[in-house]
Amino acid sequence: MAKNKLNKNWLHDHINDPYVKLAQKEGYRARAAYKLKEIDEAEKLIKPGQVIVDLGCTPGSWGQYTRRKLAGKEGGGIHGTMIGLDILPMEPIADMHFIQGDFREEDILAQLDEVLAGRKADLVLSDMAPNLSGIPAADAARMEHLIDLAIEFSQLHLKPSGALLVKCFKDMGFTQILEKFRDEFRTVKQVKPKASRDKSSEIFLLGRGLKHPAQQKSDETDDSALDI
């Protein structure tokens, strides 16, 4: 009975949500587009000519917003490269290279490398969230694992001067996640956009400038080998 009431309350709030209405009006697949829009407008993240990777991109509202920011090329198309990865299927977005699969697997990474063609990303986005079990410790571990994956991906595929934007939750191992970000990025900022529901503990972390990019590590190894 309580669950039904909760579902009805959520449905009522969702239908009357101004961002849901705006998303329907402006053609976005989800209200989440406005979270990225607000963060981007404040932080100047998305610029023409960039290589942008969207982890966990389904249903595609972040990709839609990104495409609109990169649009404007003569004869259609975009200024830049957009790549989306997700284990779930996604309806196509014009000019986005969508790769379905787990980005930890070699064949998926091979497809990614083919699109990157030797380039590194300027920006990695992650709106990924775990399937919740309702057990706080387990959910915190799952959230932390997703952040670890995003950081590891960035170490391999992000420019040293690039940025990583991830979603996390204040009540899911946030202190440990924040420390990891501070260990890996030169500047770290916490952002709570207005489009993020007040009741939600959702918050976004923006890390800029990798302290330990993978290329730097391999260079150090090569140098030490030469010294020997």
Catalytic residues: 167
Alpha helices by DSSP H, 158-213: 174-184
**CATH number for 136:** 3.40.50.150
Question: pLDDT at position 114, please?
Answer: 97
Q: Tell me the pTM.
A: 0.88
Q: Is 219 annotated as a binding residue?
A: no
- State the total domains in the chain: 1
In a domain, 63, yes or no: yes
In a domain, 26, yes or no: no
In a domain, 13, yes or no: no
Question: pLDDT at position 3, please?
Answer: 53
Strands (E), 7-155: 51-55, 81-86, 96-100, 121-126
Q: What is the helix, strand, coil percentage profile of the chain, to 5?
A: 45, 25, 30
The amino acid that residue 123 corresponds to is L
In a domain, 218, yes or no: yes
Q: Note the maximum CA span of the chain.
A: 72
Question: pLDDT at position 228, please?
Answer: 30
Question: pLDDT at position 198, please?
Answer: 84
**Which regions of the chain are under pLDDT 50?**
10, 216-228
In a domain, 18, yes or no: no
Question: pLDDT at position 213, please?
Answer: 83
Strands (E), the chain: 51-55, 81-86, 96-100, 121-126, 158-169, 185-191, 202-210
Residues 6+ apart with CB under 8 A from 87: 100, 101, 102
Are 55 and 100 a contacting pair, CB within 8 Å?
no
Bridge partners of residue 194, in order along the sequence: none
Q: Is 10 annotated as a binding residue?
A: no
Q: Is 13 annotated as a binding residue?
A: no
In a domain, 20, yes or no: no
Q: Is 222 annotated as a binding residue?
A: no
In a domain, 14, yes or no: no
In a domain, 153, yes or no: yes
Question: pLDDT at position 109, please?
Answer: 95
Dihedral angle of Cα 119, 124, 144, 40, to the nearest 10 degrees: 160
Report the alpha-carbon distance of residue 39 to residue 57 in Å, rounded: 17
**Cis previous bond, 130, omega within 30:** no
Question: pLDDT at position 199, please?
Answer: 86
The amino acid that residue 108 corresponds to is I
Report the alpha-carbon distance of residue 56 to residue 59 in Å, rounded: 9
Query: Could you tell me the residue range of the domain that residue 175 belongs to?
Result: 32-227
